[in-house]
Amino acid sequence: MVSAAHSGFHPDSHGESRTHTGLLGGLAAEQLLRLCDAVEMSPTDATAYAQVLTDALGPVAERPLALPPARSFLSDDHTPVEFSLAFLPGTTPGLRVLLEPGSGSDDLVANGRIGLGAIRTMADRWGFATGQLDRLEDLFFPASPEGPLALWCALELRPGGVPGVKVYLNPAANGRDRIVETVREALGRLGHRRALDALPPADAYPFLALDLGDWDAPRAKIYLTHHGLSAAEAGVLPRTTPHPGRERVEEFFRTAGGFPADGGGRLSGRPALSCHSFTETATGLPSGYTLHVPVRDYVRHDGQARERATAVLRRHGIDSTWLDRALAAITSRRLEDGVGLIAYVALVHERGRPPRVTVYVSSEAYEVRPPLGAVPSHERAGAAL
Ligand code: TRP
């Protein structure tokens, strides 16, 4: 276990000062504490979760920020941590954190071993079963794994100090040519034999995710990549019944992507991702649908990304001041001075629940991407030569 003191995390650093000692875990824990405060979580839970985060990060928590980042594609600047907020009307947002426990090791085998170890440590600590993950272990953790990740984990930071745990696995682990086979086999082992056939056409299958532990309805989730998606195409992606509503999905897509209300256009750069979730094996049909728009690649700067996210939130009757508080908790830079702080904006539909908006916020521990049209500092008038 990484001790809080060693990772530079000080529970009493809650507040305006940035007192982390220049270590990744310290910075991430501090960002988390400030976020917890922004969403009015109790200080007891906040302190506990900051420790949970540094523990789950493992050895990279102690990596000096002055060193280049370890290999991780979890975020654009390779920080192995990303925060997100889940918004519903009339209530405080839920706070989640996505992380890569094994990012500090340069081979995927070790990365996966560390990741599995982190999940099992959590299972022991909070008393949940890992049967679903155990059933897939040989599939996703072969002797010579391939692909961009081994295991990511997301923690839903609930009141009371025990998080909901989600695990993200890599369908390309057995090679790119065996992705569909791997996903089909995994879903079959989980009892979702017809799930793959229920999904819309896609360009790739980047992740398969599992809810572990105490969930009302634990999900198996399949993420799909859609290059060059248009609003009209986005509207017909969902395979859930009831359908979330074509117009609602199209409108969300246009707002998040920055397209005119009545207009066409495609996300021709970084692709949108959809996610279908399966919670029962009786019908073979998905019960949940999410569309993720990578807003950061379709704005000039984060001020514009914030406007998009705010418009989506307001459209769903959600008070957007929560988002502003959260952004201020993560960074003190001006939103116009970079792009990528808001990574994705997503709209979530789950059967029997009101739609939810989620916003993914980067830690930017290593780098802030300059805004589009920015003049590099060395070319600015008056810059020292
Ligand atoms: N950074 C990766 C990407 O942009 C993976 C990722 C991180 C992601 N957070 C996400 C994907 C949230 C979808 C939604 O694709």
Residues 6-27 have a mean pLDDT of 60
Query: Is the CB–ligand 1 distance for residue 74 below 6 Å?
Result: yes
CA-82 nearest atom, ligand 1: 9
Cα-to-centroid distance, 342 and ligand 1 (Å): 11
273-319, pLDDT tens digit by residue?
A: 999 999 998 898 999 999 999 999 999 999 999 999 999 999 999 99
Top mutation candidate among 227, 275, 360, 369 for ligand 1, by most atoms within 8 Å of CB: 360
**Band of the pLDDT at 264, cuts 50, 70, 90?**
confident
Taking alpha carbons only, the member of 338, 313, 373, 368 closest to residue 87 is: 313
183-223, pLDDT tens digit by residue?
A: 999 999 999 999 999 999 999 999 999 999 888 889 999 99
**pLDDT exceeds 60 at position 345:** yes
Contact 273, 224 (CB under 8 A): yes
Give domain limits for the chain. Answer: 4-379
Query: Is the CB–ligand 1 distance for residue 360 below 6 Å?
Result: yes
**What is 9-50 written as a DSSP string?**
--GGG-SS-----SBHHHHHHHHHHHHHHHTT--HHHHHHHH
Residue 225 CB contacts under 8 Å (≥ 6 apart), including other chains: 202, 203, 204, 205, 206, 271, 272, 273
CA angle 294, 296, 300 (to 5 degrees): 145
Cα-to-centroid distance, 116 and ligand 1 (Å): 20
**What is 54-77 written as a DSSP string?**
HHHHGGGGGSBTTSPPPS--SSTT
Top mutation candidate among 75, 166, 342 for ligand 1, by most atoms within 8 Å of CB: 75
For helices 108-126 and 131-140, give the axis angle rounded to 10 degrees.
Answer: 180
**pLDDT exceeds 70 at position 117:** yes
Cα-to-centroid distance, 74 and ligand 1 (Å): 6
Query: Is the CB–ligand 1 distance for residue 166 below 6 Å?
Result: no
Query: Is the CB–ligand 1 distance for residue 292 below 6 Å?
Result: yes
Cα-to-centroid distance, 75 and ligand 1 (Å): 7
For the whole model, what pTM was predicted? 0.93
Top mutation candidate among 72, 74, 298 for ligand 1, by most atoms within 8 Å of CB: 74
Query: Is the CB–ligand 1 distance for residue 302 below 6 Å?
Result: no
39-93, pLDDT tens digit by residue?
A: 999 999 999 999 999 999 999 999 999 999 998 999 999 999 999 999 999 999 9
**Band of the pLDDT at 18, cuts 50, 70, 90?**
low
